[in-house]
């Protein structure tokens, strides 16, 4: 079974702090994703990575950065946390090849989520 783990289930930070959210997957997946989930808005893509050291902006990258130094680990960084970044953050991974080269048919496997509160 694919396992995607996230470093914390709950996190409370103060405005202006630098925040690191880490995600690790154990299935040698090429693709990794960071989403935030807010009531009424659904899942929105922040950043994704299709290879080590490769990243692409999603729909809402402002205020976030990412790092992928190893294939299994994808970190989301909030450079200076703000109250509007209070949210549920979900990491996911998927394999490129079973979907015929990333054709949108790849199943994404999700971590348990981190509920971040910025005070």
Q: How many Å apart are CA 9 and CA 111, to the nearest integer?
A: 10
CA angle 17, 18, 20 (to 5 degrees): 135
Q: Which of 31, 75, 85, 87 binds other proteins (CB under 8 A)?
A: 31
Q: Which of 22, 73, 99, 117 binds other proteins (CB under 8 A)?
A: 99
Q: Does 43 bind other proteins (CB under 8 A)?
A: yes
Q: Does 11 bind other proteins (CB under 8 A)?
A: no
Q: Which residues contact 32 (CB under 8 A, 6 or more apart)?
A: 23, 25, 48, 49, 68, 74, 91, 92, 93
Q: 21: which 2 tokens?
A: 């959210």
Q: Does 61 bind other proteins (CB under 8 A)?
A: no
The secondary structure of 48-73 as a DSSP string is EEEETTEEEE-S--TTEEEEEEETTE
Task: Return the range that interacts with other proteins (CB under 8 A); candidates 19-27, 45-53, 62-70, 74-82.
Answer: 45-53
Q: Does 94 bind other proteins (CB under 8 A)?
A: yes
Q: Does 105 bind other proteins (CB under 8 A)?
A: yes
Q: Does 108 bind other proteins (CB under 8 A)?
A: yes
Q: Summarize as ranges the residues that interact with other proteins (CB under 8 A).
A: 31, 40-45, 48, 50, 58, 88, 90, 92, 94, 96, 99, 102-113, 115
């Amino acid at each position: 079974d694919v396992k995607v783990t996230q470093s914390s289930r709950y996190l409370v930070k103060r405005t202006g702090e630098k925040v690191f959210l880490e995600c690790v997957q154990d299935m040698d997946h090429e693709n990794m994703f960071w989403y935030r989930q807010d009531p009424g808005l659904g899942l929105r893509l922040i950043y994704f990575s299709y290879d080590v050291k490769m990243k692409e902006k999603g729909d809402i990258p402002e205020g976030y950065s990412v790092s992928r130094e190893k294939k299994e680990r994808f970190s989301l960084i909030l450079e200076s946390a703000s109250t509007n970044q209070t949210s549920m953050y979900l990491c996911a991974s998927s394999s490129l090849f079973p979907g015929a080269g990333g054709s949108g048919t790849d199943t994404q496997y999700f971590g348990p989520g981190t509920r971040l509160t910025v005070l």
